[in-house]
Amino acid sequence: MLQLIPQQRLLLGIAPIDFRKGINTIIALCEQQLRQQPNDGTLFVFVNRKRTAVKILVYDGQGYWLCMKRFSTGKLKWWPVDNSDVYLIGAKELQVLLYQGNPMRCEINPDWHPVLTQAACC
């Protein structure tokens, strides 16, 4: 099972990829084009040219997972446009993105905040 947690490194591969590619080809793409190690627990998200589907690659310590989500209607409303090959995103933002939302327009609370002790609040 895959979980999206705030501590996990999540990267979007900005350039669309051919969705006929399988695990081995996407691993090679991560290593050669994105210059990232796919076996360190980083979750990689890719999009097709029409932005009607996403593929997610992640290594869980025993093997690779390759998941695909094809949207039944519509397409992604937002995808980063940048000069770099990858875009760092948080777990909450990725969840919004996977529901075809725009994570840059959402007011999302920070993942971490200081906990007040009883002495500090009284």
Q: Which amino acid type is present at position 92?
A: K
**pLDDT-flagged residues of the chain (< 50):** none
The answer to whether position 1 is within a domain reads no
Alpha-carbon distances of 117 from 46, 81, 110, 121, rounded to whole Å:
42, 42, 19, 6
The answer to whether position 69 is within a domain reads yes
Name the token pair of 108.
């999302």
Give pTM, 2 decimals: 0.84
Domain holding 37, by residue range, is: 10-121
Name the token pair of 103.
């994570």
pLDDT score for 50: 96
The answer to whether position 2 is within a domain reads no
What is the number of structural domains in the chain?
Answer: 1
The answer to whether position 3 is within a domain reads no
Cβ proximity of 34 and 43 under 8 Å: no
pLDDT score for 37: 95
